[in-house]
Amino acid sequence: MSATPHVLMYSTAVCPYCIRAEQLLRARGVTEIEKVRIDLDPARLDEMIAKTARRTVPQIFIGEFHVGGCDDLVALDKAGKLLPLLGGQSA
């Protein structure tokens, strides 16, 4: 079985979309998520905006692929493209 790629999620403490995105990732077998709390580290907020051109959280990366936010993650899952991206079954 292949290793799960690195998952990075920019988030804040009280973001319901961040919680929902994390729940979906965990349900799909992701055991480790690097969470970057932009509410605690303003420099990381600037980093997130530079990488994504977006100001909202969550912003999710799987490996080098920028998924986007929670709705983007859900859409990717519904299209059957999330598991292959995570190194699971192929599409």
Give tens-digit pLDDT for 9-19.
Answer: 999 999 999 99
Q: How many distinct structural domains can be found in the chain?
A: 1
CA distance linking residue 10 with residue 60, whole number of Å: 7
**91 occurs within a structural domain:** no
Per the confidence metrics, is the pTM higher than 0.85? yes
> For position 89, what pLDDT does the model report?
57
* Residue 1 within a domain: no
Alpha-carbon distances of 78 from 29, 36, 42, 46, 52, rounded to whole Å: 16, 26, 33, 31, 22
65 domain residue, yes or no: yes
Residue 15 lies in a domain: yes
Asked if pLDDT for residue 76 goes beyond 70, the answer is: yes
Residue 90, in any domain of the structure: no
The answer to the question of residue 12 being in a domain is: yes
pLDDT tens across 6-49, in order? 999 999 999 999 999 999 999 999 999 999 999 999 999 999 99
**Which amino acid is located at 43 in the chain?**
A
Which range marks the domain in which residue 45 is found? 7-85
Residue 12 in tokens? 């804040």
CATH code at 45?
3.40.30.10
Residue 2 within any structural domain of the chain:
no
| Identity of residue 71 | D
